[in-house]
Amino acid sequence: MNKDHPKINFGKTGILLINLGTPDSTNWWDIRRYLKEFLSDRRVIEVNPIIWQIILNLFILTFRPSKTAKAYKEIWMKDLNKSPLRFYTEMQSKKLSNKFQNENIIVDFAMRYGNPSIKSKINNMQKEGCENLIIFPLYPQYASPTSATVCDEVFRTLMKMRWQPSIQIVPHYESEPLYIDAIVNSIKKKINELDWEPELIVASYHGIPKKYFDKGDPYHCYCHKTTRLINEKFNKIKIITTFQSRFGPQEWLQPYTDKTLENLPNEGKKNILVLSPGFASDCVETLEEISIQGKESFEKSGGEKFAFVPCLNDNEDHINLLEHLVRKNLK
């Protein structure tokens, strides 16, 4: 090679873990910035964009940041100044990286909304010599507003690159045996910590508007499939599927988690276990919406015992699962 030729890094493979996102802090403006990016995604909100931007900027981004900030303050890791989602995604990246030492592989993470951005991480990986990228959306159950929008952003980034790396996308893994085993192990671990027996297990997944399902989004089916496979492996206690985090006036996938938690005591189920199999990391939706709000609602309705199973986060089963899924795409 000509000695005057600039040094070029090459020959590496990059693994990029991608989750939904998080605000940089609990500051009102940081929350607003994050919500604006998130709620401006047309995969997330399928409404006429001109009308929606008026509603979003005049109303939602005026009032919702305060409510969202309050929720984040309940679960913010103040000593680290990070959200749990950011912390656990970082830990997943670090622990997964340890699995690929001496393999010419770089592992990193990004967020679909907020920081660190997908664009910044892909550009950094290319500069470090990654000619091949494995994109890993951390959503076990495929949905257009989650998995698909990750791919959209990845390809938007590639469109502006002169020298594009090759790309592989890790597919959804709602029925992967190691995933089901990891969830079952987490249920067993939690039950072993309790001094009471749950009468029912509620598997709460993030919801989507019903019209997305009507248009062909398979998410609803994948969630029910996961619950069924978990219950086949752990059949001591009945497990039901519910959907949380609905937003706006339109109908979303049902049954709704919040309404279910309010009604269960009246149906004679006063001791329950709740888990969120669709979340790779604990976040505001699991720690505040379920563990705090959900518990309070259940107890106010006459419930007696409520326990939440932590997400897989950075536990050993989860890291082994992530490694397994990546290696399937390295072959």
Residue 281 placed within a domain: yes
- Nearest CA among 278, 288, 308, 246 for reference residue 69: 288
Are 191 and 148 part of one and the same domain? no
Are 184 and 168 part of one and the same domain? no
Residue 159 placed within a domain: yes
- Nearest CA among 244, 252, 254 for reference residue 289: 244
Helix pair 177-193, 316-330: axis angle to 10 deg: 180
- Say what the pLDDT of residue 5 is: 66
**Side-chain-side CA neighbours of residue 144 (13 Å):** 17
Residue 6 placed within a domain: no
At a CB cut-off of 8 Å and minimum separation 6, what does 94 contact? Answer: 107
Q: How many residues does the chain have?
A: 331
Are 111 and 259 part of one and the same domain? no
Cα–Cα distance, 164 to 202 (Å, whole number) = 44
Residue 298 placed within a domain: yes
Peptide bond into 171 cis (omega under 30): no
Domain carrying residue 136: 12-172+317-330
CB 20 within 8 A of CB 112: yes
Residue 266 placed within a domain: yes
Residue 150 placed within a domain: yes
Are 189 and 210 part of one and the same domain? yes
Are 304 and 324 part of one and the same domain? no
- Give, in order, the Cα–Cα distances in Å from 110 to each of 107, 138, 264, 299: 11, 11, 38, 37
Peptide bond into 255 cis (omega under 30): yes
pLDDT tens across the length of the chain (331 residues): 567 767 778 889 999 999 999 999 999 999 999 999 999 999 999 999 999 999 999 999 999 999 999 999 999 999 999 999 999 999 999 999 999 998 999 999 999 999 999 999 999 999 999 999 999 999 999 999 999 999 999 999 999 999 999 999 999 999 999 999 999 999 999 999 999 999 999 999 999 999 999 999 999 999 999 999 999 999 999 999 999 999 989 999 999 999 999 999 999 999 999 999 999 999 999 999 999 999 999 999 999 999 999 999 999 999 999 999 999 998 6
Are 205 and 300 part of one and the same domain? yes
β-bridge partners, 209: 252
Please calculate the CA angle 245-119-6 and round it to the nearest 5 degrees.
Answer: 165
Cα–Cα distance, 198 to 192 (Å, whole number) = 11
Are 129 and 149 part of one and the same domain? yes
Cα–Cα distance, 66 to 72 (Å, whole number) = 10
Strands of the 130-137 sheet, one edge to the other: 105-114, 12-22, 130-137, 166-169
Are 99 and 215 part of one and the same domain? no
CB 206 within 8 A of CB 256: no
Q: Is the pTM of this model over 0.85?
A: yes
β-bridge partners, 19: 111
Residue 5 placed within a domain: no
Are 163 and 187 part of one and the same domain? no
Are 181 and 168 part of one and the same domain? no
Q: Calculate the CA dihedral of residues 137, 138, 144, 145 and round it to 10 degrees.
A: -110
- What's the total number of domains in the chain? 2
Specify the CATH number for the domain of residue 107: 3.40.50.1400
Cα–Cα distance, 146 to 229 (Å, whole number) = 22
What are the start-end ranges of the H helices in the chain? 28-39, 49-55, 61-75, 84-98, 118-127, 149-159, 177-193, 210-214, 219-233, 257-263, 284-287, 295-300, 316-330
Are 118 and 149 part of one and the same domain? yes
Are 240 and 135 part of one and the same domain? no
